[in-house]
Structures are given as C-alpha cells and as structure tokens.
Chain A
Amino acid sequence: MSQAKIPRYLIRLLLFLLLPAGAWVWLEIRVAHIPNSYNTKRTYFEKSMGNVETLILGPSHALFGVNPADLRGVVFNLSQINQSVYYDQALLLKYLDRMPHLQQILWCIPSTSLWQSLDLTPDYWRDYFYFHFWDLNSPYISWKSPMRYSYVALYGTDKVLEYLGKGLRVNLSDTIDEHGWLHAHGNSDSLGEGPGRRHAALHSTYFAHEAAYRDNRRRLHEMLELCRSKKIRMILFECPLLPYYKDHLNPKMIAQTRQVLEEMSRQYHIPYLDYSSDSVFHAADFYDDDHLNVGGANKFTPLLQQGIDQAEEDGY
C-alpha cells in the first residue's frame, strides 16, 4: 500500500521540480553564452589561426604586456591570466596542426611560472574554464566538482545573481581585442609599494610547488623539442616588472628559473630575453606591480621586436 504511494509522490515531486529545473536549464544556456576572455579569445583565435605566423604564450604578464599589432607579421596573443605551462603546452598541441604558417612562438616565462600548477592555486576554477571553453580535459578536472557540469557553478552563484540583476547583458571580455591582447588603461588602485610587496609574497607562496617545478621543466623540454622538430622558432622572454614586486619575490625561485631558462637557451640555441629589470619602465607604464598598461605595452612590444631582431642577427 505504502509502496504504491511512491510513484504518485515522485510524479508530484517531479512536477514541482519542473519549473525550477526549466529555469535552471534556461539560466545555464544564457550563462554559457556570456562572453568571457576564454570563449572570446577562442573565437578570435580560431578565426585567424590559419594565418598566424607568431604565437604568444604565457600568463598575464604577456596578456597585458605584448600588443600583437606592434610585432611584425600575423600575431596572436594566446596568453591568459595565470595560464600555466601545462595549458601553454595543451593549447599548442591542440592547435599546432591547424596553424600551417606558424613560424615562431614567443613564450613568456616569469619566475613564478615554473613553480605553478593551476589546481594548487586559489585560481583553480580556471581549470574549468579551459575545460568548458577550450575543450581541454585536464587531470585537474574533478568529477566531484559542480563546476564541471554547471556554468552557473563555474561563475559562482553570487556573480550570476549580479549578472541577472543586469538582465544577463554582460560582457566580460570587452578589454580583449581581436589579436588576443588585453587593454588595461591607466593604473589600478593596487599599484604601490605595499600592495606590490604583498602581491609578491602571495605569488611566492601560491606558486611554490616542487612537484610542479619538475613537471613544468619536463613540459618545457617537450615543447622545445617539438618546436625544433617542426622548425618553429622559439623565443623565451619575461616582461618588465616593478622593482618592488620583483625584489620581494622568492630569490631562490628567480635564480633557479633564470638558470633553467639560460640552460635551455644554450641547449636548444634559442634566445632568452629578460626585461624584468629593465629600467626604462616606470610606475606610469604599469597597470599594477607586475602588469603593463596600454602605454607600457606599446612601449615594451617594439623593444621586444628589436630584441627578437637582434637575436636573429646574433645567429639564434
């Protein structure tokens, strides 16, 4: 008798859930289509990848600091905030065969990059953005995480509520141009010695994983081998930083990264251009302590082009 009540109750429960489930599905679809720096960049990139001659990889330093329009040829900036070496490699492997004109890769490797694994940082949610918007299924994607299944969970319900308040008419990628460069105008509120020190201390803690260092070193070698075999020129570089940021990073991290990159530069006969202590850059060129603003990027990119040309003349 009581068992007979179950189907009736289930139908009632399903009827009750129909409306919220429908509303949720609608919301998921709408949220999935919100332009963000991942899906926008992918759209721009896939449109132009057939012609791309130079590809820029790396984390936010390159995203803010290198304006592809100031470099020669068809250039696309594929870097992203906190993009780890893992994702640099994954993106290149995914698209390499579809870039027939690719001649060179400019790979920005800051001193924190080699020690970083995205899943071990507070930005681990970015793994799920690569999963959803670049179709990159990394080992860091957990089946237990709702972010794997839901775009609402991916953005966070508080953010989605905010977007709902704006009628879901939001564009999170309006500072990204069609070459993948992020335009950051002026100076951020956090530009200053105090925040710079804190920022550096934070980076030295978040990005200090020995296991990640070993894996990233291996990935670096694999990438360089691959590029050599495909006859793609690789240039390793680092963007300008404000001294009060760089001086407060973990010195062991800086020294070891520099040593590894110089070693690779010799081993693979590729240039390594380090602008992190370049004194021509001042606070006015920075958005915050480790990211150039539009003016700074327009000052730095021609310098980078000169550096690349010079390296070519030097036989690299």
Chain B
Amino acid sequence: MLFNTFEFLLFFPVVTLLYHLTPRPWRWLLLLLASCVFYMAFIPVYIFILVFTITVDYLAGLGIEKSAGRRRKLFLLFSIAANLGMLCVFKYYDFFTLQVNHLLHLSGSREHLPYLALLLPVGLSFHTFQSLSYTLEVYHGRQKAERHYGFLALYVLFYPQLVAGPIERPQHLLPQLHAPQPFSPGLFSSGLRLMAWGLFKKSVIADRAAECSDALFSHPQRYSGWPLWVGVLLFSIQIYCDFSGYADMAIGSARTMGIQLSLNFRRPYFAHSIAELWQRWHMSLYRWFRDYVYIPLGGNRVSKVRQKLNVLFVFLLSGLWHGANWTYICYGFCHGIMYNLSTWHRISWKAAWTRPFRILFTFLLLSLAYIFFRARSLSDAGYIFLHLLDTSSAVAYGTVLYGFRAGIHFYSHTDWFILLGSILLLFITEGLQEYGFRPEWRLLKLPLWLRWPAYYAFFFALAFLGVYEHRAFVYFSF
C-alpha cells in the first residue's frame, strides 16, 4: 500500500480512529494487524520473510541476554547471518551470479550459475537494518531483550516506517509501543499537517518532476547539453521530495497515534559540504552505518589514512545497500571520495560569505553523483557525464531557453509554473526554517478565520496540482 493511494486514504483514518478507541493494553495488537495488512497489500506471502527474521531476532535477543562470552557472539552472528542472508538471497544473489557468469563466460567456460529472479520484497533493506539494530543494541547492552514477541514484531512491522524508514532504534520505538500515549489534539493535528506537507512534496513536486527526469534518464542518448542538466537537476529535486515526503508522511501518521519517529531529513539541500549533507540526509541510515560499521572499524581512533579508507568502505556499503547494481556502487564510491575531500577542506572554506556558494556547490556535486544513482547502467551514466557540457547541442538549439524546451517539451507552461512555483515554496519554507523561523508555528498563531482558509488553499493545491498516478516511492525498491 502506498501513502499516496486511495487505499491508504481509507486505511489511515480507519486504523487511526480504531487505535484511539481501542483500550491501551490492546493497541499493540491492532497496530500489528494493521501493519500486516499494510505489508501484505504488496506481496502477501512475503510476510513470512518478516516472520522468519522477527523470530530469529527474538530468539537471538533472548539468547544474547541470557548468555555470556562466545555464546553471546554466536547468537549475534546467528541473527546477522539470518538477516543479511535474506537480504543476499533476495537482493544480491542475482547480481553476484551475473558477475560470476560474466567471469565464467570470459574464461571460456560454458557453465553458468542459475538465477533466482525473485521479486524484491518492498523495503527489505529498511526492515532488515531495523531488525538488525535490535540484536546489535541488545548485544551492546544498550537495550534489554524484548520478551513479548508481539511487541518485537510490531517494532519491525510498524506500518508508517516499515517500507522506507526512518530506521528506528529499539530504545526509541519499543518504549513508545509499550506505553501508548493518550490522545493529544495538538499532536494529532501536527501529524496531519506533516502528512499533508509530505504529500505535497511527493505528489506536487516529486511526481511532476519525475515526468521529465524519467524521460531523460530512460533515453539519455536522445539528449545532450542543457536538457540533460534539466533532467539531472530535476532528479535531485525529485529524489529529495519523494523520500523526504515519504518520511514526513511516515512521521506524521505515527504522530497521529502519539508515536514519535526519528527525524530523517533536516533540510539537506542547505548543507554547505558533503560531510554536513550526511548529517541532514537519510540521517537514520547514516547513524546506522556510523554506529554499527564505522565505529567498530575503529572510528576516529585510527590513523587518518585508515579513517579515510574506512569512510570510503562505509559509503561503498551504503551504495550497495541501495541496490545490487554497479551504478549504486559508483554512487557510494563518489560519496566516499566527496566526503573525505570535504572533511579535508572544510576549514579553509569557513568564511560566512562563501556559505551560499558552498551550498550551491554541494547541491551541484550531489546532483552529479545522482547521475550514477538514477542511470540505468554505467554506460548511460558515462554518456550523461560526457554530454552535459556538449556545447554543440546548445549552439544547435540556439538559445538556452530553447534547449530547455527541447529537453522538456512534454511540459506545458502550466506544468512549469506549478513545478517551479512549488519548488520555490519548498525552498522558501525550508530557508525560513533554516534561519530559525517556523512558518508552521506562525500559522498556528493565526486566528481561526485566517488559519482555516490557509489550510483550505493548501488542500486545494494538493488536490488539484498533484500528480496522482500511483507512482511508487523511489526508496520502496530498496
């Protein structure tokens, strides 16, 4: 079930209302059932994958807590092997088989390994990491093992963040599931507002931008010069609005039930370096890799060179986390290099007047790295990089404006107006937030006769300016 569908429009109010009407001791059960329905709307049988990993982690958690020494580690390894095993089978097996088969082919062998060609369960990487963080936290002694199977299942399955995060830590989410909060009108309204804002980002901006970027990335060879730039820059906007829009809707829908999820984005396009970007973009994944991979590798306690190599390794892993393709590995590699460079040069760029330039430069670097993320293959990515500065096409088009039109001929003036207007609204809002001004708080202080019309205008924009073609969230496939 997608957040931007009619099904969810029915599902959400029913579940939320029932949640608040159900006696508190039974709310976990209602949420668990609702989460199962939510997940099973995709491929019902895949619920057994989750049942398997939850059961393994439940037993591993209890085992880790009860045992000591080598046995503790064995329980942890058992959990890691089961979780990553699932991930490998569904996500990486065919990719590695393809590489092996290529090598066999090159060596002249006629043998080849068979492919599984399994459909990827939605949000597999997200709930695997969330599940793993439970056993890792129990292992490190920061979380007690959960004795109630139902609560652990709900921790992994909790529907708002099940398929695209934020990746929660057990010590943050489990206590909230155990002790449901009383109904709070303020929190409920704030959740609804956040959901509406998330839907605005997804439907009005991301899905409209996707019409152009999809066309350009599907057949990049048809374009060169400015049209490619348009596609690349619009994809940066699309991916941010798509993913952070999902996060807003996830956090908002959990908030209507009095459950607070972690922040996953903090205005990342106002970051002034790649290092800072990663403290603002997909923060829950960044923290996961930092705490469970980077720090165990030595963190900042090792030599500078080793530290940089560790950073590179972590980003390579994070690239692979996104998907089983060389393009994602290159994406991770780019970020690793850029992160290391930005931490080297951070000091020399600190003058305040350079900040807008650094923000733009960071955005530009990020957009270029996204070419690897979005391109269907390395050769497509290579073509785009080689033809971004193709001036011959710019000359052929005559003017920059014509170049824009050639690349985006499928957009009408109205589409452009809506897209650019909504992007402007997004960045103005985030810009104000960045400097401590909270437009949403100002809105709350307005009298009712002004506040409600403002909401109505927003809903009108949401209903009539959004693109509702059931386009899935980009990160659902990860």
Contact = CB atoms under 8 A, between A and B. Distances in A.
A binds B: yes
Interface of A: 1-3, 5-6, 9, 12, 16, 19-20, 144-146, 153, 157-158, 160-161
A3 B258 CA distance: 13
Given A5-B183, A12-B185, A20-B456, 9 more contacts: A2-B183, A6-B183, A9-B183, A20-B460, A157-B464, A157-B466, A158-B414, A160-B464, A161-B464
Given A6-B183, A9-B188, A144-B5, A16 B455 contact: yes
A2 B182 contact: yes
Contacts of A6: 20-21, 183
Contacts of A146: 6, 468
Contacts of A160: 464
B419 to A, nearest CB: 12
B459 interface: yes
B184 interface: yes
A9 B468 contact: no
B187 to A, nearest CB: 11
Contacts of A145: 6
A156 to B, nearest CB: 8
Given A6-B20, A9-B188, A144-B7, A20 B459 contact: yes
A158 B464 contact: yes
Interface residues of B, number: 21
A3 B183 contact: yes
Contact of A157 (B185, B414, B455, B463): B463
Given A144-B5, A144-B7, A145-B6, A157 B182 contact: no
Interface in B169-201: 182-185, 188
The majority secondary structure among interface residues of chain B is helix
B264 to A, nearest CB: 27
Contacts of A157: 463-466, 468
Contacts of B21: 6
B115 interface: no
13 contacts: A1-B182, A2-B182, A3-B20, A5-B184, A6-B183, A9-B183, A145-B6, A146-B468, A157-B465, A158-B464, A160-B464, A161-B464, A161-B465
B292 interface: no
A20 B464 CA distance: 13
Contacts of B6: 144-146
Contacts of B464: 157-158, 160-161
Sorted nearest first, the 5 A-B pairs with minimum C-beta distance are A2-B182, A146-B6, A161-B464, A157-B464, A2-B183
B427 interface: no
Given A6-B183, A9-B185, A19 B456 contact: yes
Contacts of B185: 5, 9, 12
Nearest to A145: B6
A32 to B, nearest CB: 17
Nearest to A144: B7
Contacts of A158: 414, 464
**Most-contacted residue by chain A among B188, B460, B464 (CB, 10 A):** B464
Nearest to A164: B464
Interface string B437-458: 0000000000000001001100
**Most-contacted residue by chain B among A1, A5, A153 (CB, 10 A):** A5
Nearest to A149: B6
Contacts of A2: 182-184
A6 B18 CA distance: 12
Nearest to A142: B6
A162 to B, nearest CB: 8
A163 to B, nearest CB: 11
Nearest to A16: B452
A16 B188 CA distance: 14
Contacts of B465: 157, 161
Contacts of A16: 452, 455
A5 B21 CA distance: 11
A4 to B, nearest CB: 9
A138 B188 CA distance: 40
Nearest to B183: A2
Contacts of B414: 158
Contacts of B460: 20
B39 to A, nearest CB: 16
A19 B453 CA distance: 10
Contacts of A12: 185
Nearest to A24: B463
Contacts of B466: 157
A164 to B, nearest CB: 8
Contacts of B7: 144
**Most-contacted residue by chain A among B6, B184, B455, B465 (CB, 10 A):** B6
A118 B327 CA distance: 37
Interface string B48-63: 0000000000000000
Nearest to A12: B185
B380 to A, nearest CB: 22
A196 B452 CA distance: 52
Contacts of B188: 9
A9 B187 CA distance: 12
Contacts of B184: 2, 5
Interface string B29-41: 0000000000000
Nearest to A158: B464
Contacts of A161: 464-465
B215 to A, nearest CB: 15
A202 B258 CA distance: 51
Nearest to B6: A146
Interface string B3-21: 0011100000000000011
A99 B263 CA distance: 66
Nearest to A146: B6
Nearest to B21: A6
A144 B10 CA distance: 10
Interface string B456-477: 1001100111101000000000
Nearest to B192: A13
Interface in B118-135: none
A97 to B, nearest CB: 36
A152 B213 CA distance: 27
A161 B415 CA distance: 12
Contacts of B452: 16, 19
Nearest to B448: A16
